[in-house]
Protein backbone atom coordinates (compact mmCIF):
# COMPACT_ATOMS: atom_id res chain seq x y z
CA UNK A 1 0.00 0.00 0.00
CA UNK A 2 1.26 3.44 -0.91
CA UNK A 3 1.93 5.85 1.90
CA UNK A 4 -0.80 8.41 2.47
CA UNK A 5 -0.26 12.05 1.60
CA UNK A 6 -0.29 14.13 4.78
CA UNK A 7 -0.91 17.85 4.53
CA UNK A 8 -0.21 20.05 7.58
CA UNK A 9 -2.50 23.08 7.50
CA UNK A 10 -2.08 26.20 9.60
CA UNK A 11 -5.79 26.60 10.33
CA UNK A 12 -5.31 30.02 11.97
CA UNK A 13 -3.49 31.88 9.17
CA UNK A 14 -5.09 34.52 6.92
CA UNK A 15 -8.20 36.70 7.06
CA UNK A 16 -11.31 35.03 8.48
CA UNK A 17 -9.32 32.11 9.85
CA UNK A 18 -10.17 29.44 10.80
CA UNK A 19 -13.59 29.81 9.10
CA UNK A 20 -12.37 30.10 5.52
CA UNK A 21 -9.66 27.50 6.06
CA UNK A 22 -12.17 24.91 7.23
CA UNK A 23 -14.66 25.87 4.52
CA UNK A 24 -11.89 25.42 1.96
CA UNK A 25 -11.09 22.05 3.48
CA UNK A 26 -14.76 21.11 3.25
CA UNK A 27 -14.73 21.82 -0.49
CA UNK A 28 -11.59 19.70 -0.84
CA UNK A 29 -13.18 16.80 1.08
CA UNK A 30 -16.34 16.95 -1.02
CA UNK A 31 -14.34 16.92 -4.25
CA UNK A 32 -12.25 13.98 -3.07
CA UNK A 33 -14.95 11.72 -1.62
CA UNK A 34 -13.67 8.75 -3.60
CA UNK A 35 -10.08 9.33 -2.47
CA UNK A 36 -8.66 7.84 0.69
CA UNK A 37 -5.00 8.48 -0.02
CA UNK A 38 -4.58 11.58 2.16
CA UNK A 39 -4.66 12.89 5.72
CA UNK A 40 -5.20 16.48 6.76
CA UNK A 41 -3.64 17.73 9.99
CA UNK A 42 -5.08 21.00 11.25
CA UNK A 43 -2.89 23.13 13.52
CA UNK A 44 -4.57 25.76 15.67
CA UNK A 45 -7.14 26.46 18.33
CA UNK A 46 -9.03 23.18 18.79
CA UNK A 47 -12.26 24.77 20.01
CA UNK A 48 -12.49 27.27 17.16
CA UNK A 49 -11.64 24.63 14.57
CA UNK A 50 -14.13 22.14 15.99
CA UNK A 51 -16.83 24.78 15.95
CA UNK A 52 -16.33 25.35 12.20
CA UNK A 53 -16.12 21.63 11.54
CA UNK A 54 -19.37 20.91 13.29
CA UNK A 55 -21.18 23.88 11.77
CA UNK A 56 -20.30 22.49 8.33
CA UNK A 57 -21.23 18.95 9.39
CA UNK A 58 -17.82 17.54 8.45
CA UNK A 59 -17.51 13.95 9.67
CA UNK A 60 -14.43 12.80 7.77
CA UNK A 61 -11.99 10.46 9.50
CA UNK A 62 -9.21 11.83 7.31
CA UNK A 63 -8.69 14.92 9.44
CA UNK A 64 -7.03 15.46 12.78
CA UNK A 65 -6.67 18.58 14.91
CA UNK A 66 -3.42 19.38 16.71
CA UNK A 67 -4.09 22.08 19.24
CA UNK A 68 -1.84 25.13 19.52
CA UNK A 69 -2.57 28.22 21.59
CA UNK A 70 -0.51 30.85 19.79
CA UNK A 71 -0.98 32.42 16.37
CA UNK A 72 1.48 34.49 14.30
CA UNK A 73 0.04 37.99 13.95
CA UNK A 74 -0.04 39.92 10.68
CA UNK A 75 2.05 42.63 12.30
CA UNK A 76 4.86 40.27 13.36
CA UNK A 77 8.15 41.15 11.66
CA UNK A 78 10.34 38.44 10.10
CA UNK A 79 13.23 39.80 12.21
CA UNK A 80 11.69 38.79 15.53
CA UNK A 81 9.60 35.93 14.21
CA UNK A 82 11.97 33.11 15.09
CA UNK A 83 11.82 34.02 18.73
CA UNK A 84 8.17 34.85 19.07
CA UNK A 85 6.50 32.42 16.72
CA UNK A 86 7.59 29.16 18.33
CA UNK A 87 4.68 26.83 18.98
CA UNK A 88 2.28 28.90 16.93
CA UNK A 89 -0.05 27.10 14.52
CA UNK A 90 2.22 28.19 11.64
CA UNK A 91 5.41 27.01 13.32
CA UNK A 92 3.95 23.64 14.26
CA UNK A 93 2.49 23.04 10.81
CA UNK A 94 5.96 23.51 9.30
CA UNK A 95 7.74 21.59 12.04
CA UNK A 96 5.40 18.65 11.42
CA UNK A 97 7.54 17.83 8.39
CA UNK A 98 10.77 17.26 10.29
CA UNK A 99 8.87 15.29 12.92
CA UNK A 100 7.79 12.96 10.13
CA UNK A 101 4.15 13.92 10.58
CA UNK A 102 3.55 15.67 7.28
CA UNK A 103 4.71 15.79 3.64
CA UNK A 104 3.85 19.42 3.03
CA UNK A 105 2.78 22.52 4.98
CA UNK A 106 0.19 25.17 4.05
CA UNK A 107 -0.43 28.59 5.59
CA UNK A 108 -2.34 31.75 4.63
CA UNK A 109 -0.61 33.71 7.41
CA UNK A 110 2.16 36.33 7.47
CA UNK A 111 4.36 35.70 4.39
CA UNK A 112 7.64 37.09 5.71
CA UNK A 113 7.41 35.06 8.89
CA UNK A 114 6.47 31.89 7.01
CA UNK A 115 9.51 32.23 4.74
CA UNK A 116 11.86 32.83 7.66
CA UNK A 117 10.65 30.03 9.90
CA UNK A 118 10.30 27.55 7.04
CA UNK A 119 13.91 28.18 6.12
CA UNK A 120 14.97 27.86 9.74
CA UNK A 121 13.03 24.69 10.47
CA UNK A 122 13.36 22.81 7.18
CA UNK A 123 16.84 24.10 6.19
CA UNK A 124 18.03 24.62 2.66
CA UNK A 125 18.77 21.64 0.40
CA UNK A 126 22.52 21.26 0.14
CA UNK A 127 22.40 21.38 -3.67
CA UNK A 128 20.63 24.75 -3.71
CA UNK A 129 22.20 28.16 -3.12
CA UNK A 130 18.98 30.12 -2.61
CA UNK A 131 15.37 29.13 -2.09
CA UNK A 132 12.67 30.62 -4.34
CA UNK A 133 8.99 31.41 -4.28
CA UNK A 134 7.12 29.93 -7.25
CA UNK A 135 3.63 30.84 -8.40
CA UNK A 136 1.05 29.56 -10.85
CA UNK A 137 0.33 31.76 -13.83
CA UNK A 138 -2.55 31.42 -16.30
CA UNK A 139 -1.62 30.89 -19.95
CA UNK A 140 -3.33 30.26 -23.27
CA UNK A 141 -2.48 26.60 -22.95
CA UNK A 142 -3.43 26.20 -19.28
CA UNK A 143 -1.05 27.01 -16.48
CA UNK A 144 2.60 27.91 -16.09
CA UNK A 145 4.89 28.24 -13.09
CA UNK A 146 6.91 31.40 -12.57
CA UNK A 147 9.75 31.89 -10.12
CA UNK A 148 11.25 33.66 -8.21
CA UNK A 149 8.34 35.87 -7.16
CA UNK A 150 10.15 37.74 -4.43
CA UNK A 151 12.23 35.54 -2.12
CA UNK A 152 15.53 36.92 -3.50
CA UNK A 153 15.96 40.53 -4.56
CA UNK A 154 19.33 39.81 -6.10
CA UNK A 155 20.30 36.64 -7.92
CA UNK A 156 23.20 35.27 -9.94
CA UNK A 157 23.29 32.86 -12.86
CA UNK A 158 23.77 29.85 -10.56
CA UNK A 159 20.54 30.78 -8.73
CA UNK A 160 18.65 31.07 -12.01
CA UNK A 161 19.84 27.61 -13.05
CA UNK A 162 18.73 26.19 -9.66
CA UNK A 163 15.35 27.89 -10.10
CA UNK A 164 15.03 26.34 -13.56
CA UNK A 165 15.69 22.84 -12.25
CA UNK A 166 13.31 23.31 -9.32
CA UNK A 167 10.64 25.04 -11.42
CA UNK A 168 10.71 22.26 -14.01
CA UNK A 169 10.37 19.71 -11.17
CA UNK A 170 7.41 21.63 -9.75
CA UNK A 171 5.71 21.78 -13.13
CA UNK A 172 6.28 18.05 -13.64
CA UNK A 173 4.85 17.23 -10.21
CA UNK A 174 1.66 19.20 -10.90
CA UNK A 175 1.31 18.12 -14.55
CA UNK A 176 2.95 14.67 -14.75
CA UNK A 177 1.92 14.14 -18.38
CA UNK A 178 3.37 17.41 -19.65
CA UNK A 179 6.85 18.34 -20.81
CA UNK A 180 8.38 21.31 -18.96
CA UNK A 181 9.62 24.08 -21.26
CA UNK A 182 11.87 26.53 -19.43
CA UNK A 183 12.45 30.15 -20.44
CA UNK A 184 14.34 33.04 -18.90
CA UNK A 185 12.36 36.29 -18.65
CA UNK A 186 14.25 39.01 -20.51
CA UNK A 187 13.77 42.26 -22.41
CA UNK A 188 14.42 40.71 -25.81
CA UNK A 189 14.60 37.28 -27.36
CA UNK A 190 18.01 37.54 -29.05
CA UNK A 191 20.96 35.87 -27.33
CA UNK A 192 22.81 39.19 -27.01
CA UNK A 193 20.00 40.87 -25.06
CA UNK A 194 19.87 41.32 -21.29
CA UNK A 195 22.12 41.37 -18.27
CA UNK A 196 25.37 39.43 -17.89
CA UNK A 197 23.63 37.18 -15.35
CA UNK A 198 20.99 36.23 -17.91
CA UNK A 199 23.55 35.59 -20.64
CA UNK A 200 25.54 33.26 -18.37
CA UNK A 201 22.41 31.41 -17.26
CA UNK A 202 21.35 31.11 -20.91
CA UNK A 203 24.56 29.29 -21.82
CA UNK A 204 24.31 26.91 -18.85
CA UNK A 205 20.66 26.10 -19.47
CA UNK A 206 21.24 25.42 -23.15
CA UNK A 207 23.78 22.85 -22.08
CA UNK A 208 21.55 21.25 -19.42
CA UNK A 209 18.38 21.11 -21.54
CA UNK A 210 17.24 17.55 -22.19
CA UNK A 211 13.90 15.82 -22.43
CA UNK A 212 14.16 13.97 -19.14
CA UNK A 213 14.28 17.13 -17.08
CA UNK A 214 13.20 20.01 -19.26
CA UNK A 215 13.67 21.62 -22.62
CA UNK A 216 15.16 25.09 -22.66
CA UNK A 217 13.24 27.56 -24.82
CA UNK A 218 15.60 30.52 -24.51
CA UNK A 219 14.43 33.99 -23.57
CA UNK A 220 10.88 35.25 -23.50
CA UNK A 221 9.62 38.80 -23.01
CA UNK A 222 6.93 39.97 -20.59
CA UNK A 223 4.21 39.92 -23.24
CA UNK A 224 4.87 36.20 -23.85
CA UNK A 225 4.38 35.19 -20.20
CA UNK A 226 0.84 34.06 -20.99
CA UNK A 227 1.42 32.62 -24.45
CA UNK A 228 2.09 29.14 -23.10
CA UNK A 229 5.04 28.46 -25.41
CA UNK A 230 7.09 28.04 -22.24
CA UNK A 231 5.48 26.78 -19.05
CA UNK A 232 8.33 27.33 -16.58
CA UNK A 233 9.44 30.95 -16.49
CA UNK A 234 12.54 31.93 -14.57
CA UNK A 235 13.53 35.34 -13.25
CA UNK A 236 15.08 37.01 -10.21
CA UNK A 237 12.82 37.82 -7.26
CA UNK A 238 12.72 41.56 -7.90
CA UNK A 239 11.65 41.27 -11.54
CA UNK A 240 9.29 38.37 -10.81
CA UNK A 241 7.51 40.32 -8.09
CA UNK A 242 7.13 43.40 -10.32
CA UNK A 243 5.81 41.26 -13.19
CA UNK A 244 3.33 39.42 -10.94
CA UNK A 245 1.94 42.57 -9.36
CA UNK A 246 1.85 44.47 -12.67
CA UNK A 247 -0.19 41.61 -14.17
CA UNK A 248 -2.53 41.66 -11.16
CA UNK A 249 -2.93 45.44 -11.37
CA UNK A 250 -3.56 45.35 -15.12
CA UNK A 251 -6.20 42.63 -14.74
CA UNK A 252 -7.94 44.58 -11.98
CA UNK A 253 -7.85 47.80 -14.01
CA UNK A 254 -9.38 46.11 -17.06
CA UNK A 255 -12.05 44.17 -15.19
CA UNK A 256 -13.05 47.30 -13.22
CA UNK A 257 -13.35 49.25 -16.47
CA UNK A 258 -15.33 46.47 -18.10
CA UNK A 259 -17.72 46.37 -15.15
CA UNK A 260 -18.18 50.11 -15.29
CA UNK A 261 -18.83 50.06 -19.04
CA UNK A 262 -21.36 47.27 -18.67
CA UNK A 263 -23.36 48.94 -15.92
CA UNK A 264 -23.21 52.61 -16.80
CA UNK A 265 -26.69 52.90 -18.26
CA UNK A 266 -29.96 51.04 -18.34
CA UNK A 267 -29.34 49.76 -21.84
CA UNK A 268 -26.00 48.21 -20.99
CA UNK A 269 -27.42 46.78 -17.74
CA UNK A 270 -30.20 45.17 -19.74
CA UNK A 271 -27.60 43.63 -22.05
CA UNK A 272 -26.01 41.98 -19.03
CA UNK A 273 -29.04 39.71 -18.78
CA UNK A 274 -28.09 38.26 -22.13
CA UNK A 275 -24.37 38.03 -21.65
CA UNK A 276 -24.59 36.87 -18.01
CA UNK A 277 -23.42 33.32 -18.68
CA UNK A 278 -20.70 34.33 -21.11
CA UNK A 279 -19.33 36.85 -18.65
CA UNK A 280 -19.55 34.33 -15.85
CA UNK A 281 -17.51 31.88 -17.89
CA UNK A 282 -15.01 34.65 -18.60
CA UNK A 283 -14.78 35.45 -14.90
CA UNK A 284 -14.30 31.80 -14.03
CA UNK A 285 -11.55 31.43 -16.61
CA UNK A 286 -9.52 34.28 -15.17
CA UNK A 287 -10.48 33.69 -11.52
CA UNK A 288 -7.30 34.36 -9.49
CA UNK A 289 -8.45 31.91 -6.82
CA UNK A 290 -7.61 29.10 -9.23
CA UNK A 291 -3.97 30.21 -9.08
CA UNK A 292 -3.88 30.72 -5.33
CA UNK A 293 -0.82 29.25 -3.65
CA UNK A 294 2.85 30.15 -3.94
CA UNK A 295 5.31 27.32 -3.44
CA UNK A 296 8.48 27.83 -1.43
CA UNK A 297 11.15 25.71 -3.15
CA UNK A 298 14.71 24.77 -2.21
CA UNK A 299 14.11 23.63 1.37
CA UNK A 300 14.11 20.04 2.59
CA UNK A 301 10.33 20.02 2.34
CA UNK A 302 7.68 21.97 0.45
CA UNK A 303 5.73 24.86 1.96
CA UNK A 304 2.74 26.47 0.27
CA UNK A 305 1.66 30.05 0.99
CA UNK A 306 -1.97 30.92 0.33
CA UNK A 307 -3.01 34.55 -0.17
CA UNK A 308 -4.07 35.89 3.22
CA UNK A 309 -7.12 37.60 1.76
CA UNK A 310 -8.42 34.75 -0.36
CA UNK A 311 -11.75 33.10 0.44
CA UNK A 312 -12.69 29.46 1.01
CA UNK A 313 -12.52 28.67 -2.73
CA UNK A 314 -9.02 30.13 -2.98
CA UNK A 315 -7.95 28.21 0.10
CA UNK A 316 -9.43 25.02 -1.36
CA UNK A 317 -7.24 25.49 -4.44
CA UNK A 318 -4.17 25.76 -2.20
CA UNK A 319 -5.05 22.50 -0.45
CA UNK A 320 -5.58 20.87 -3.83
CA UNK A 321 -2.19 22.19 -4.98
CA UNK A 322 -0.51 20.64 -1.90
CA UNK A 323 -2.19 17.32 -2.67
CA UNK A 324 -1.09 17.37 -6.32
CA UNK A 325 2.47 18.38 -5.52
CA UNK A 326 2.98 15.47 -3.15
CA UNK A 327 1.14 12.99 -5.36
CA UNK A 328 3.48 14.12 -8.17
CA UNK A 329 6.52 13.60 -5.89
CA UNK A 330 7.87 17.16 -6.02
CA UNK A 331 10.83 16.46 -3.75
CA UNK A 332 11.84 13.42 -5.81
CA UNK A 333 11.58 15.42 -9.02
CA UNK A 334 13.66 18.25 -7.55
CA UNK A 335 16.37 15.86 -6.36
CA UNK A 336 16.40 14.14 -9.71
CA UNK A 337 16.81 17.45 -11.56
CA UNK A 338 19.47 18.77 -9.21
CA UNK A 339 21.44 15.52 -9.33
CA UNK A 340 21.44 15.69 -13.08
CA UNK A 341 22.69 19.23 -12.74
CA UNK A 342 25.46 18.26 -10.35
CA UNK A 343 26.52 15.34 -12.49
CA UNK A 344 27.23 17.83 -15.26
CA UNK A 345 29.18 20.27 -13.12
Sole binder of a copy of itself in the list 35, 86, 142, 253 (CB under 8 A): 253
DSSP assignment of 314-331 equals HHHHHHHHHHHHHHTTHH
Cβ contacts of residue 32 below 8 Å, gap of 6+?
38, 323
Verify binding: residue 308, a copy of itself, rule CB under 8 A: no
- Indicate whether 275 belongs to the interface with a copy of itself (CB under 8 A): yes
Least distance in angstroms from the C-beta of 22 to a copy of itself: 29
Residue 126 found at the interface with a copy of itself (CB under 8 A)? no
C-alpha distance from residue 150 to each of 105, 113, 130, 133, 330 (Å): 19, 14, 12, 6, 21
Tell me the C-alpha distance between 310 and 188, whole Å: 35
In angstroms and rounded to an integer, the radius of gyration of the C-alpha atoms of the chain is 21
96, 9 Cβ separation under 8 angstroms: no
User: Between residues 48 and 197, which has the closer beta carbon with respect to a copy of itself?
Assistant: 197
Burial of 290 (0-12, 13-18, 19+ CB in 10 A): middle
Is there binding between residue 293 and a copy of itself (CB under 8 A)?
Answer: no
Q: At what angle do helices 266-285 and 237-263 cross, to 10 degrees?
A: 150
Does residue 277 belong to the site contacting a copy of itself (CB under 8 A)? yes
For residue 248, state whether it binds a copy of itself (rule: CB under 8 A): yes
The answer to whether 261 contacts a copy of itself (rule: CB under 8 A) is yes
Beta bridge partners of 105: 8, 303
**DSSP E strand stretches across the chain:** 5-10, 38-44, 63-67, 104-107, 132-139, 142-147, 181-185, 215-220, 232-234, 294-297, 303-305
Full strand arrangement of the beta sheet holding 294-297: 63-67, 38-44, 5-10, 104-107, 303-305, 294-297, 132-139, 142-147, 232-234, 181-185, 215-220
* 271 binding a copy of itself? (CB under 8 A): yes
Out of 272, 309, 332, 339, the only residue in the binding site for a copy of itself (CB under 8 A) is 272
Look at residue 12 and give its three-state secondary structure.
coil
75 binds a copy of itself (CB under 8 A): no
DSSP string, 21-36: HHHHHHHHHHHTTT--
Q: Which of residues 315-334 bind a copy of itself (CB under 8 A)?
A: none
Compute the least distance from the CB of residue 242 to a copy of itself, in Å: 5
CB-wise, 61 or 278, nearer to a copy of itself? 278
Closest to a copy of itself by CB, 33 vs 140, is 140
The answer to whether 15 contacts a copy of itself (rule: CB under 8 A) is no
Shortest Å, Cβ 262 to a copy of itself: 5
249 versus 332: smaller Cβ distance to a copy of itself: 249
Q: Find the binding residues for a copy of itself in span 195-234 (CB under 8 A).
A: 195, 221-227
Interacting residue with a copy of itself among 55, 286, 332, 339 (CB under 8 A)? 286
Size (the chain), residues: 345
Nearer to a copy of itself, 74 or 227 (CB): 227
Query: What is the smallest separation between the CB atom of 272 and a copy of itself, expressed in angstroms?
Result: 7
Q: Interface with a copy of itself by CB under 8 A: which residues?
A: 138, 140, 150, 153-154, 185, 187, 194-195, 221-227, 235, 237-239, 241-255, 257-258, 261-262, 264-265, 267-268, 270-275, 277-279, 281-282, 285-286
Amino acid sequence: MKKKITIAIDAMGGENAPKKNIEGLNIFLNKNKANKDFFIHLYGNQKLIEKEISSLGITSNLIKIIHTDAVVSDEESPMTAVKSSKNTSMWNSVKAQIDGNADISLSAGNTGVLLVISRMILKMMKEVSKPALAGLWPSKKGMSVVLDLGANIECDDKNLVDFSEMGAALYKSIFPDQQPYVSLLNIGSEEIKGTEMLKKAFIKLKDLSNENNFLFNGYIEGNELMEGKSNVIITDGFTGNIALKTAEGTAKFLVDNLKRSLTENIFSKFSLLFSYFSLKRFKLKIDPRKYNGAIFLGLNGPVVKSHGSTDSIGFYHSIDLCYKIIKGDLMGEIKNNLNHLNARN
